[in-house]
Amino acid sequence: TQLLEQSPQFLSIQEGENLTVYCNSSSVFSSLQWYRQEPGEGPVLLVTVVTGGEVKKLKRLTFQFGDARKDSSLHITAAQPGDTGLYLCAGVSGLGKSTFGDGTTLTVKP
Amino acid sequence: NAGVMQNPRHLVRRRGQEARLRCSPMKGHSHVYWYRQLPEEGLKFMVYLQKENIIDESGMPKERFSAEFPKEGPSILRIQQVVRGDSAAYFCASSLGQGVYEQYFGPGTRLTVT
């Protein structure tokens, strides 16, 4: 069974601060995806990383895929209240099955 | 640019009734996935279907739950004889293919069993 552990589970910070969310597994994945979910809505895909060591930037968000393709991190610079939400990582197997972590609930206070 | 559509958005059922959740994938997508989410938790995989075929149902409870994706029409997740523990948000996602193809999620159906 493939498991993904996300940390921290909850994070509450002030506007302007930086933060990093981690996604770790003992399994290797074909790719790894990060989603953001707001209350009452479905997850929205932020990024897909495929290559070990890959780094992708999306404005103030930086995503990194570990060299061994087992872990990933999401770093947010100068967080804003609009970044508040549940951040989910999902590892995708070669057969297309996605395994989700339990998420990190981020609250950014103005 | 229609995304993944799910209906109903909210469904209330009494214990013992049946619940039918519908999912229409994005245009051109033939792969559908169903997930269940409990409050403040991640998504738990239930089933992966391609048109007329169940590819992976390893996350489906053995009893009362079934899923289909017919040649024509939406994918259906059916829960028979619902119990309170079935109360959750059920999300559907679709993709162009399997593997590295990205999944796009619908808004979910929130099932409440009273």
Render pLDDT for B31-58 as a digit per residue (tens, 0 to 9). Answer: 999 999 987 778 899 999 998 899 999 9
CB contact under 8 A, A101 and B42: yes
Given B45, B98, B105, which is nearest A42 (Cβ)? B105
Is the CB of residue A15 less than 8 Å from the CB of residue A109? yes
Rounded Cα distance, A44 and B106, in Å: 9
Q: Is the confidence at residue B1, as pLDDT, over 60? A: no
The amino acid at A14: Q
The residue of A5, A92, A93 whose CB has the most chain B CBs within 10 angstroms, and thus the best one to mutate to test that interface, is: A92
DSSP state, A106?
E
Rounded percentage of chain B residues whose pLDDT exceeds 90: 75
Render pLDDT for A19-44 as a digit per residue (tens, 0 to 9). Answer: 999 999 988 888 899 999 998 899 99
CB contact under 8 A, B98 and A31: no
Render pLDDT for B63-87 as a digit per residue (tens, 0 to 9). Answer: 999 999 999 999 999 999 999 999 9
Q: What is the pLDDT of residue A10?
A: 95
Given B41, B104, B108, which is nearest A102 (Cβ)? B41
Is the CB of residue A86 less than 8 Å from the CB of residue A103? yes
Mean pLDDT over each residue of chain A, to the nearest integer: 92
User: In the A/B pair of chains, how many CB contacts fall below 8 A?
Assistant: 70
| CB within 8 Å of chain A, chain B residues 51-70 | 55-56, 58
